[in-house]
Amino acid sequence: MKKSLLNISIIAAVAAVSIFVGRNMGDTAPVIVKDAPVVNTEQVASSANGVLEIADMPTQIKVAQQNGIEIIKNFKIDNGYTVWIVKNRSNYNAWYSDESGYVFVGAYLDPAGKNLTAQYLEQYAPKDTQTALIETAEYIGTVKEGEVAKSKPVYVFYEPHCGYCSAFHAAAQPYIDAGADVRWIPLAFLKNPPGDATSYEILSRIMDAPDPLAELDKHEAMKAANGGRGGLTKTVDPDADLFRMSEKNSTVFSELGFTGTPALAYVNDAGRIELVKGMPQMRDLPGIFGMERMDSDDRRLTRFRALPTVYPAKK
């Protein structure tokens, strides 16, 4: 689930007007362009009360703007479409409108198959907003001081009672053992099962430990041995620092548009932050880590198409 392209709640508010939307770039049917568009003119824009107002703005985009979508830039291309570079929280997307009133979003391809949506975002969307945001989060790193990471940083929002977080922890282990730079960003929002410690209590124990990473791994090992439940028990009360960390990380989580865990952020080969919502398939992990595929033989990963005999973990 890469690059959410539209806030569905906003689109629901304008259901009376036709909009074609995809959940993500992969789910949206590509738009094939007969003639490769060239940017030629930019619509006249004016600012009133701090809100950008653009001539001939489609109703759908006006309503989206009123609901918090920020218009960064708009311009016409020579097939008559208008391109809108928009920001939803910290996510940037390209929307398109035509003269008949339709608005759509998706991979916009020229006759050679070049993704013009990616080109427009690379050209016009600010490059450092999400990177700066994610770097404000507090995390538990897998690469210790003095060690050399074998991957670019992969940030993982982690909730100690989240079953899919446990699955990702298992899936990531071969890559971590090979030197991947995984940065676990702790959150606390799930309700604990009866008799188990709360998320805050578990995180307090993890963060107060001499080696927080070893304590996190211990929690996951205990859950795995108990059918996915349990884990660390309460030994210390959550303090103000723990609540402050959780609040800060929750803010970053929300600003990036995430709503559930695990949630991943990493830098792609173009230098941009990629966001992944939910547990990825095993085939996606090499692209995330930038490493050779290594599938864990943990039985929980079968549903994510783990093939440990084909892609064994390196010893």
Q: Is 262 within 8 Å of 275 (Cβ atoms)?
A: no
Q: Is 278 within 8 Å of 157 (Cβ atoms)?
A: no
> How far is Cα 278 from Cα 268, in angstroms, rounded to an integer?
18
What tokens does 194 get? 């009866």
Domain locations in the chain as residue ranges = 8-126, 134-304
User: What is the Cα Rg of the chain in Å?
Assistant: 22
Residue 270 pLDDT > 70: no
- C-beta contacts of 126-132 below 8 A and 24+ residues apart: 126/72, 126/92, 127/271, 127/272, 129/90, 129/92, 130/90, 130/91, 130/256, 130/265, 130/273, 130/275, 131/267, 131/273
Q: Give the pLDDT mean for 82-93.
A: 85
The class of domain 134-304 in CATH terms is alpha beta
Q: What integer pLDDT is reported at residue 236 of this predicted model?
A: 85
Judged by DSSP in three states, 256 sits in coil
Q: What integer pLDDT is reported at residue 267 of this predicted model?
A: 83
The percent of residues in the chain predicted with pLDDT above 90, rounded, is 56
0.85 exceeded by the pTM?
Answer: no
In this structure, of 66-70, 77-81, 89-93, 269-273, the range with the lowest mean pLDDT score is: 269-273
Residues 6+ apart with CB under 8 A from 25: 2, 3, 5, 106, 107, 117
Q: What sign does the dihedral 260-205-143-133 (CA atoms) show?
A: positive
Q: Of 91 and 296, which is predicted with more confidence?
A: 296
Task: Give the amino acid at 41.
Answer: T
- Give 25-55 pLDDT, tens digit per residue: 333 334 433 333 444 334 433 333 333 456 6
Task: Transcribe 194-241 into DSSP letters.
Answer: TTSPPHHHHHHHHHHSSSHHHHHHHHHHHHHHTTT---SPP-S---HH
Q: Give the pLDDT mean for 257-282.
A: 90
What tokens does 293 get? 């595929």
Average pLDDT score over the chain = 82
User: If pLDDT is split at 50, 70 and 90, which confidence band does 57 have?
Assistant: confident
Residue 260 pLDDT > 80: yes
Task: Give the amino acid at 151.
Answer: S
Rounded to the nearest 5 percent, the helix, strand and coil shares of the chain are: 30, 20, 45
Q: What integer pLDDT is reported at residue 168 of this predicted model?
A: 98
Return the top range by mean pLDDT from 53-57, 255-259, 266-270.
255-259
Judged by DSSP in three states, 289 sits in helix
Q: What integer pLDDT is reported at residue 127 of this predicted model?
A: 66
DSSP 8-state class, residue 46? E
- Give 220-256 pLDDT, tens digit per residue: 999 999 999 999 999 989 999 999 999 999 999 999 9
Q: Is 141 within 8 Å of 186 (Cβ atoms)?
A: no
Q: What integer pLDDT is reported at residue 13 of this predicted model?
A: 34
User: If pLDDT is split at 50, 70 and 90, which confidence band does 56 have?
Assistant: confident
- Give 104-162 pLDDT, tens digit per residue: 988 888 888 888 988 898 888 876 677 888 989 999 999 998 899 999 999 999 999 99
24 has which bridge partners? 4
Question: Residue 62 — φ and ψ, nearest 5°?
Answer: -60, -45
